Amino acid sequence: MNQKNNYNNEENITRVITPNKRKGEIYGIVEKLSGASRLTVMCEDGLTRNCRIPGKMKKRMWIREGDLVIVKPWDFQNEKGDIVYRYTRTQASYLSRNKMLPEIIDVFNER
């Protein structure tokens, strides 16, 4: 019955969700809240899009200005999109430290 825990020997691996490029998802920073579950987001491709928060995220995940999000641009209107995911502050700084964010979006500067 002598079981050893190997928690101290293993490294903590932090995994975060990244945008699925096959589905057209990209990083974005929330610039302005417009009300009625709409926001203005600066995306990694340089465009500023009017995005909406889908109903399944509306009450579960609160989004503020300056948050790092994943945006899925609409196929038929490129200047609009949907919010897919919001990163916590810890996850955003992890992405910044590991240089996984594009330069235009990297406002966290953890270097």
The per-residue pLDDT for 34 is: 92
Q: What span, in angstroms and rounded, lies between the C-alpha atoms of 31 and 70? A: 14
Give mean pLDDT, residues 101-110: 79
For the entire predicted model, the pTM comes to 0.82
**Per-domain boundaries in the chain:** 21-97
Other Cβ atoms closer than 10 A to 42 = 19
pLDDT digits (tens, 9 = 90+) for 17-75: 899 999 999 999 999 999 899 999 999 999 999 999 998 888 888 899 999 999 999 99
* One CATH from 2.40.50.140, 3.30.465.10, 1.10.287.1080, 3.40.228.10 for 21-97: 2.40.50.140
* 66-to-1, 8, 29, 74, 103 alpha-carbon distances in Å: 51, 36, 6, 22, 15
pLDDT score of 61: 83
15 pLDDT more than 90: no
